[in-house]
Amino acid sequence: MKNKLSWLSIPFTIWMAIFVVVPILIMAVYSVTSADGLVTGENFVGMGDYAVVFVRSFWLAILATLVCLLIGYPVAYMMAKEGQGFQRVAMALIMLPMWMNFLLRTYSWMSILENNGLLNQLFRSIGLISLYNSVTGSNIEYFQLLRTPGAVVLGMVYNYLPFMILPIYSVILKLDNSLLEAAQDLGANSVNVFRKVILPLSLPGVLSGVTMVFVPSVSTFAISRLLGGGTQMMLGDLIENQFLGGAYNPHLGAAISMVMMVIVVVCMVVMNHFGEGEEQAVML
Amino acid sequence: MSKELIRLDRCTMVFDEDVVLDNINLNIQDKEFLTLLGPSGCGKSTTLRIIGGFQMPTSGDVFFDGVRINSVPPYRRAINTVFQKYALFPHLNVFENVAFGLRIPKTDANGAKVKLPEEEIHSRVMEMLEVVNLKGFEKRRTTALSGGQQQRVAIARALVNRPKVLLLDEPLGALDLKLRKDMQKELKRIQKAMEITFVYVTHDQEEALAMSDTIVVMDKGCIQQIGSPKDIYNEPQNAFVADFIGESNIIDGIMRADGVVEIFNRRFQCLDSGFEKDEAVDVVIRPEDVDIVPLEQGQLKGTVTDVTFKGMQYDIIVDFYGFKWLIQTTDLAPVGSNIGIKIDPDGFHVMKKSRYSGMFGDYSSYSEEFDEISQGVGDDEE
Ligand SMILES: Nc1ncnc2c1ncn2[C@@H]1O[C@H](COP(=O)(O)OP(=O)(O)O)[C@@H](O)[C@H]1O
Ligand SMILES: [Mg+2]
């Protein structure tokens, strides 16, 4: 059966080869050559100037992933435990924003977070800003929300949260109810049932959620540019700049992409390993 | 010597207007092996889940050691369960599965949490693995075990907590026949050795007869009869019980006087009494209680219509005046022959008429029923 149908995967294999493997090879070649076609390591050496962008990217991506996990796990858990009706409504609410264009979504956040945006207007009208001024003795017109790392993290969390919720939700939903009853039967109250059964058994979902949020977060562009307002440049923006922007240098851009890719892959491998270790740790 | 441990008092369970248990009264004695027996869907698991605390009866009370426990959650009952599909924790190895209950901190009399010392956990788990013959399997993943081994892990995991009662929901259903017989003996041995009350659920009457001190026969959410295996077999209370436990011919009869029953317009001597004069009754005659005799000595005469060789005996279907009986005998009577039969007075069992009268105990469709049975053995899934 499997073998008879395996020819169906040929188009996909070819597709992957042309549009994934070949581009990576081209990038690899670019990253070790200079504009005049000579093999060189200077692209990698020159990257040191951007260390701060690397650190910021990974730091903000880790933050966004953590926030997604902290929000996403309880939501996923509740969805899986509540009745069908709640599940359907929650699923619709999660999916609805994804039907909107990504840039549109991010622009809306800009108008919410602006110095004169919805949030600051709200704060002003409920007197939060004057309260702040009277308490701290300062004299501000608005809270600086846009152009902060927080705004970038918010943008990433908003965009990538569904990728955390969905895998965790589906793992918890598939948990065999008799396992939970067995745990109760053996003396576990609801806290212990969660700690000793649900949590360890939902780790695979957590792991894939973390991967699905972290990878796009670390390579994010646009969000950081729009919500960070140029002060929060991330790797994605940096690379974009090398190919399309003023700093035109595809060789450097390729080199940065390669390094980022390697770091991400290493992170994923380590984390998956850690995940398995976790399972074994529970076992011991 | 025995004392009541669990009592279900007028328990009724309704699921979306479906009455699944109808006014169940049941006493379970300390240290007894009690079996809930009945066809699939009759409410056995639901009864067990009420005892275990996983389901609250819609009405009625559950008592444990004289205390009402309706709203006591499962984790605070001195009861453990072996689940129908074992429900072993896939993320834990055999040792940790068995140790699960021991590792959960218990609240002592002063409300403080106490943890068992690691050495005690270790020794109790190892002791239990020895009881269920799984020494050397501690480090194995449960997913890598055979059905019988998983079964035994589930039993060890429950028993290691030293419950007063062990609930078992068709624990042997997924095992093949040979293994099932071995495990029946094994379970009986464990129950004797550990002096624990077992409440066992099965739809297999042979299993129930072989293992139980007390059998509770259920059908359609009602208890049909409670008694020892011998009582249930020899003195079934109605046609359902007679038919469900072993083979039986069930014939309409009339009780003419104490010790005299009439079937097919002929009077027979029997041992039953206590009926009204001329009361209509159901009469059970077990296939092995019928002797084949020469035609002229027969109390009844009939024609053989079907013979099946069963190894130990022949199953013979005999037509008596249009009503087909099953007779089990070692004497071969060929198809088409006319035979006489003789039944001793203790071969009759007279029952009051019930809602089941006329529904069972006729072997006109014997071959079809036989097919059903042999299919049923093949796929034991509910
Ligand atoms: N949680 C439930 N919700 C609705 N119906 C149920 C539920 N549990 C059991 N039932 C119904 O109750 C009846 C008895 O079930 P059960 O006690 O499992 O029977 P048994 O174990 O004797 O086969 C079945 O008809 C079943 O469909
Ligand atoms: Mg059942």
Domain co-membership, B332 together with B351: yes
Domain range for residue B284? 239-373
- In short, whether B218's Cβ falls inside 6 Å of ligand 1 is no
Q: What is the pLDDT of residue A281?
A: 39
Q: Which ligand has the nearest atom to the CA of B36?
A: 1
Residue A217 lies in a domain: yes
Which of A171, A185, A192, A198 has the highest number of chain B CBs within 10 A, making it the mutation to test binding with B? A185
Q: What is the tally of structural domains in chain A?
A: 1
Q: What residues contact B29, with CB distance under 8 A and at least 6 apart?
A: B2, B3, B4, B5, B197, B214
3-state DSSP percent of chain A in helix, strand and coil, to 5: 80, 0, 20
Residue B381 lies in a domain: no
Residue A9 lies in a domain: no
What DSSP designation does B3 have? -
Domain co-membership, B253 together with B311: yes
Q: Which ligand has the nearest atom to the CA of B58?
A: 1
Which of B193, B211, B234 terminates a domain? The answer is B234
Residue A198 lies in a domain: yes
CATH of the domain at B81: 3.40.50.300
Side-chain half-sphere exposure of B206, counting CA atoms within 13 A: 9
> Residue A154: phi, psi to the nearest 5?
-55, -45
Across the interface, do B89 and A182 touch by the CB < 8 Å criterion?
A: yes
Whether the CB of A179 is below 8 Å from some CB of chain B: the reply is yes
The most confident of A136-150, B39-53, B171-185, by mean pLDDT: B39-53
Probe target for ligand 1 pocket from B46, B51, B222, with the most ligand atoms within 8 Å of CB: B46
> What is the average pLDDT across B354-380?
64
Chain B residues with beta carbon closer than 8 angstroms to that of A281: none
User: Which pair of structure tokens corresponds to residue B371?
Assistant: 């097919």
Domain co-membership, B179 together with B259: no
Is the Cβ–Cβ distance between B220 and B24 less than 8 Å?
A: no
- In short, whether B351's Cβ falls inside 6 Å of ligand 1 is no
Domain co-membership, B225 together with B281: no
Phi-psi region of B66 (alpha: psi -120 to 50; beta: other; left: phi over 0): left
User: What pLDDT, in 10s, does the model give residues B67-85?
Assistant: 999 999 999 999 999 998 8
Determine the Cα–Cα distance for residues B179 and A251; give it in Å rounded to an integer: 69
B185 sits in which H/E element: helix B177-194
Q: What is the pLDDT of residue B1?
A: 53
Report the mean per-residue pLDDT for chain B: 90
User: Which pair of structure tokens corresponds to residue B65?
Assistant: 């050691």
Which of B191, B216, B234 terminates a domain? The answer is B234
Closest residue of chain B to A203, computed from CA coordinates: B91
> DSSP of B119-134, one letter per residue?
HHHHHHHHHHHHHTT-
Does the ipTM surpass 0.85?
A: no
Whether the CB of A200 is below 8 Å from some CB of chain B: the reply is yes
Determine the Cα–Cα distance for residues A40 and A21; give it in Å rounded to an integer: 22
Domain co-membership, B25 together with B153: yes
Q: What is the pLDDT of residue B379?
A: 44
Whether the CB of A181 is below 8 Å from some CB of chain B: the reply is yes
> If DSSP codes are grouped into helix, strand and coil, which group holds residue B359?
coil
Res A95 pLDDT > 90: no
Q: What is the tally of structural domains in chain B?
A: 2
Residue A43 lies in a domain: no
Residue A149 lies in a domain: yes
Is the Cβ–Cβ distance between B5 and B64 less than 8 Å?
A: yes
Determine the Cα–Cα distance for residues A115 and B10; give it in Å rounded to an integer: 69
A109 sits in which H/E element: helix A102-113
Chain A residues with beta carbon closer than 8 angstroms to that of B81: 181-182, 185
Domain range for residue A212? 51-283
User: What is the least distance, in Å, from the CA of A193 to any CA of chain B?
Assistant: 10
Res B40 pLDDT > 70: yes
CB pairs under 8 A between A and B: 68
Which residues, chain by chain, have CB under 5 Å from ion ligand 2? B 45
A267 sits in which H/E element: helix A250-283
Across the interface, do B91 and A200 touch by the CB < 8 Å criterion?
A: yes
Residue A89 lies in a domain: yes
Residue B204 lies in a domain: yes
User: What is the least distance, in Å, from the CA of A188 to any CA of chain B?
Assistant: 6
Q: What is the pLDDT of residue A48?
A: 86
CA A19, A25, A29, A31 torsion-angle sign: positive
Q: What residues contact B181, with CB distance under 8 A and at least 6 apart?
A: none
Long-range contacts of A118-122 (CB under 8 A, 24+ apart): A119/A143, A119/A145, A120/A145
Closest of B228, B218, B185 to residue B48, by C-alpha: B218
Q: What is the pLDDT of residue B367?
A: 54
Chain A residues with beta carbon closer than 8 angstroms to that of B76: 187
Residue B161 lies in a domain: yes
Domain co-membership, B266 together with B282: yes
How many other C-beta atoms can be found within 10 angstroms of the C-beta atom of residue A225?
A: 20
Q: What residues contact B247, with CB distance under 8 A and at least 6 apart?
A: B286, B287, B326, B328
> What is the average pLDDT across B323-327?
91
Residue B203 lies in a domain: yes
> Residue A136: phi, psi to the nearest 5?
-95, -10
> If DSSP codes are grouped into helix, strand and coil, which group holds residue B148?
helix
Closest of B325, B35, B28, B42 to residue B208, by C-alpha: B35
Q: Which ligand has the nearest atom to the CA of B20?
A: 1
A214 sits in which H/E element: helix A199-218
Whether the CB of A176 is below 8 Å from some CB of chain B: the reply is yes
> What is the average pLDDT across B256-280?
93
Residue nearest to atom 3 of ligand 1 (CA): B15
What is each CA distance from B62 to A60, A194, B70, B232, in whole angstroms?
A: 57, 28, 5, 25
List the Cα angle A92/A95/A96 in 5-degree steps: 80
User: What pLDDT, in 10s, does the model give residues A133-185?
Assistant: 999 988 888 999 999 999 999 999 999 999 999 999 999 999 999 999 999 99
Across the interface, do A186 and B161 touch by the CB < 8 Å criterion?
A: yes
pTM: 0.84
Phi-psi region of B264 (alpha: psi -120 to 50; beta: other; left: phi over 0): left
CATH of the domain at A132: 1.10.3720.10
- In short, whether B25's Cβ falls inside 6 Å of ligand 1 is no
User: What pLDDT, in 10s, does the model give residues A14-57?
Assistant: 998 899 999 999 999 999 998 888 888 888 888 888 999 999 99
User: What pLDDT, in 10s, does the model give residues B124-143?
Assistant: 999 999 988 899 999 999 99
Res A76 pLDDT > 90: yes
Domain co-membership, B249 together with B220: no
Read off the pLDDT band of B366 (50, 70, 90): low
Residues of B numbered 78-137 whose beta carbons fall under 8 angstroms of chain A's beta carbons: which are they? 79-81, 83-85, 87-93, 96, 100-101, 104, 106
Probe target for ligand 1 pocket from B35, B42, B45, with the most ligand atoms within 8 Å of CB: B45
CA B111, B115, B120, B123 torsion-angle sign: positive
Across the interface, do B100 and A184 touch by the CB < 8 Å criterion?
A: no
Domain co-membership, B226 together with B265: no
Whether the CB of A204 is below 8 Å from some CB of chain B: the reply is no
Is the Cβ–Cβ distance between A212 and A167 less than 8 Å?
A: yes
Residue B382 lies in a domain: no
- In short, whether B302's Cβ falls inside 6 Å of ligand 1 is no
Closest of A217, A274, A234 to residue A69, by C-alpha: A217
Which of B205, B234, B263 terminates a domain? The answer is B234
CATH of the domain at B248: 2.40.50.140
Determine the Cα–Cα distance for residues B190 and A271; give it in Å rounded to an integer: 45
Domain co-membership, B219 together with B305: no
Angle between the A102-113 and A118-125 helix axes, to the nearest 10 degrees? 30
Domain co-membership, B319 together with B346: yes
User: Which pair of structure tokens corresponds to residue A222?
Assistant: 């646009």
- In short, whether B14's Cβ falls inside 6 Å of ligand 1 is no
What DSSP designation does A18 have? I
Phi-psi region of B321 (alpha: psi -120 to 50; beta: other; left: phi over 0): left
B6 sits in which H/E element: strand B4-15
Determine the Cα–Cα distance for residues B196 and A130; give it in Å rounded to an integer: 72
Domain co-membership, B252 together with B367: yes
Residue A269 lies in a domain: yes
Determine the Cα–Cα distance for residues A243 and A44; give it in Å rounded to an integer: 16
Q: What is the pLDDT of residue A268?
A: 84
Domain co-membership, B367 together with B283: yes
User: Which pair of structure tokens corresponds to residue A108?
Assistant: 């809306």
Whether the CB of B230 is below 8 Å from some CB of chain A: the reply is no
Beta-sheet strands, E only, within B258-361 = 260-263, 266-269, 279-285, 290-293, 300-309, 314-320, 323-329, 338-343, 348-352
Determine the Cα–Cα distance for residues A216 and B144; give it in Å rounded to an integer: 37
Among the partner-chain residues B54, B84, B104, the one whose CB lies closest to the CB of A186 is: B104
Closest of A189, A215, A196, A187 to residue A272, by C-alpha: A215
Which residue bears the tokens 């039953």? B272
User: What pLDDT, in 10s, does the model give residues A181-209?
Assistant: 999 999 999 999 999 999 999 999 999 99
Determine the Cα–Cα distance for residues B168 and B150; give it in Å rounded to an integer: 14
> If DSSP codes are grouped into helix, strand and coil, which group holds residue B322?
coil
Q: What is the pLDDT of residue B330?
A: 87
User: What pLDDT, in 10s, does the model give residues A266-281?
Assistant: 988 888 787 665 444 3
Across the interface, do A196 and B100 touch by the CB < 8 Å criterion?
A: yes
Whether the CB of A196 is below 8 Å from some CB of chain B: the reply is yes
Residue B46 lies in a domain: yes
Res B382 pLDDT > 50: no
Read off the pLDDT band of B211 (50, 70, 90): very high
> What is the average pLDDT across B118-126?
96
Residue A240 lies in a domain: yes
Among the partner-chain residues B52, B93, B106, the one whose CB lies closest to the CB of A185 is: B52
